[in-house]
Amino acid sequence: MKPDLKASLQRYALELVLYAVLVTVYYFLVLHFLGHGLENLYRHQRKLYAGLALGLIVGQGLVLEILTRFLLSWISAREEAEGFFQSLASTYPQSTSSGSGLSSGCSEAFLESEEASWPVRPCSPPACR
């Protein structure tokens, strides 16, 4: 299976499970807090019940969609950050010669300067000040 397709399917499955959990929680919250009132409206004022039910359906869709997107973007950001730091660690392995993990005095001098910013790019010795 292609990596892109696998990642898309995993993301879809995660979204499906997350949405199912949120809908289930929403159902039981509405049943618990609004069940008796909705039942009375259904019995006595059907037009008002119909309007309120449609409002709840639309509100549920909007709130759950916003919440699902927020949670998925938060999860994706964490996964990307973990992947970034893992790739960074494999790209710039720590030196065993010094305790700071920097490979040369050039990097240490650059880091200590006021112009240092993230990401720190390694410099060659002739370019060091």
How far are the Cα atoms of 3, 13, 16, 63, 73 from residue 9, in angstroms, in the given order? 10, 6, 10, 24, 16
How many residues are recorded in the chain?
Answer: 129
Q: Is 122 helix (H, G, I), strand (E, B) or coil?
A: coil
Q: In the chain, where are the structural domains located?
A: 3-91, 97-129
Answer whether 81's CB lies under 8 Å from 73's CB. no
Does the global pTM surpass 0.75? no
Check residue 94 and report its DSSP letter: P
For 12-58, write each residue's pLDDT tens digit: 898 899 889 988 998 999 999 999 999 999 999 999 999 999 999 99
Name which of 11, 7, 10, 9 is nearest 71 in CA terms. 11
